[in-house]
Chain A
């Protein structure tokens, strides 16, 4: 090698080679990372008011299930996703719309009329009819949608 201070031709060329190699490496890695994380970094599509159905279908005091189909663009495919919403009303005017997705690890909950509670089969969780956790591991109540009634039809805000 050299005596420390002076850079000889050999180590100079060595440094240049490492520098060029490093630049090429970065030139590949940075676009590669953008390319890989791209779809994850996309914002969720705009939310829209989705029509559930007639408000009159909701029984007083019992969560009623509405199933609707929403079109979704995933990658280069447009497919239909089914959305299940439980709607509860105590007076026929004020509605609560709850997601059927368990807040523990994402299984689907269902209303068990005989026990007057929602049940999640994955880890035996129970939620009250308002969506509050009664039993089991879920950390929070069931998620709620914004809901509105127009001309006797129910709409929720979702995507």
Chain B
């Protein structure tokens, strides 16, 4: 029965080829370190799901942000879990991204023909850091406020254009309602859009090129 329905759709949609290309592709015999990219992707999905749920109650204005976050964690059923998953997932995602990158470096997987995969990876790392930076301000508590004051101030230390960067980031000379709103906008629209685009290219290349094999000692000689 299920097979019949699956075939009916496949005849019209052709999903089986896509399924096979993604999940049934041939890979060299590799080790567990090669799962770090997939682990990172999993944390990305976790962030997306829990982040979307958080926006159902979160309000990005100075007079409501803190209270709405407290409301989520103390009043809403499972709110503590959803926020906790997003909070700890953020750290896990940074750690996993870096570990994945280390595996690519240490096994030389960035070399020809995978340079473009590497470059999309570099931008992915920037996006992941950007998520952490903008998300940190959103709870609008003391830690968030002063953490972001310091963070934007550091960006302001750049020579010549530093002050200008600082003002653009803050939307003015100080951290304000404008800063909170733009950090929120970047956190939930700009960065997710960039992440989806970059992950799509990254994954396309991985599937198209195939993943690298574990390098052997003899090959170096």
Given A38-B76, A38-B77, A39-B76 in contact, is the A32-B82 Cβ separation under 8 Å? Answer: yes
Let me know if A4 is at the binding interface, CB within 8 A: no
Q: Do B71 and A35 touch (CB < 8 A)?
A: no
Q: Do B77 and A34 touch (CB < 8 A)?
A: yes
Question: A41 vs B81: C-alpha distance in the bound complex, in angstroms?
Answer: 18
Question: A75 vs B59: C-alpha distance in the bound complex, in angstroms?
Answer: 11
Secondary structure dominating the interface of A: helix
Q: Do B68 and A35 touch (CB < 8 A)?
A: no
As a 0/1 sequence over residues 61 to 85 of chain B, the CB contacts with chain A under 8 angstroms (1 = contact) are 0001001101100011111011000
Contacts A32-B78, A75-B57 aside, 13 further interface pairs with beta carbons under 8 A come to: A28-B49, A32-B82, A34-B77, A35-B53, A35-B76, A35-B77, A35-B78, A36-B56, A41-B77, A76-B64, A76-B67, A76-B75, A77-B67
Question: A31 vs B67: C-alpha distance in the bound complex, in angstroms?
Answer: 22
As a 0/1 sequence over residues 60 to 82 of chain A, the CB contacts with chain B under 8 angstroms (1 = contact) are 00000000000000011100000
What are the 8 closest A-B residue pairs judged by CB atoms, nearest first?
A: A76-B67, A31-B78, A76-B71, A34-B77, A38-B77, A35-B78, A38-B76, A34-B78
Chain B: CB-nearest residue to A28: B49
Q: Do A32 and B49 touch (CB < 8 A)?
A: yes
> How many residues does chain B have at the interface if contact means C-beta atoms less than 8 Å apart?
16
As a 0/1 sequence over residues 14 to 58 of chain A, the CB contacts with chain B under 8 angstroms (1 = contact) are 000000000000001001101110110100000000000000000
Q: Which residues on A are within 8 Å of B, measured CB to CB?
A: 28, 31-32, 34-36, 38-39, 41, 75-77
A21: min CB distance to chain B, Å: 11
Question: A77 vs B70: C-alpha distance in the bound complex, in angstroms?
Answer: 12
* B-chain residues with CB within 8 Å of residue A28 when the two chains form the complex: 49
A141: min CB distance to chain B, Å: 36
Q: Do B53 and A32 touch (CB < 8 A)?
A: yes
Can you identify 19 A-B contacts, CB atoms within 8 angstroms? A28-B49, A31-B78, A31-B81, A31-B82, A32-B49, A32-B78, A32-B82, A35-B53, A35-B56, A35-B78, A35-B81, A36-B53, A36-B56, A38-B75, A38-B76, A38-B79, A39-B76, A76-B70, A76-B75
* B-chain residues with CB within 8 Å of residue A34 when the two chains form the complex: 77-78
Question: A108 vs B111: C-alpha distance in the bound complex, in angstroms?
Answer: 72
B133: min CB distance to chain A, Å: 26
Question: A32 vs B57: C-alpha distance in the bound complex, in angstroms?
Answer: 13
A85: min CB distance to chain B, Å: 30
B24: min CB distance to chain A, Å: 10
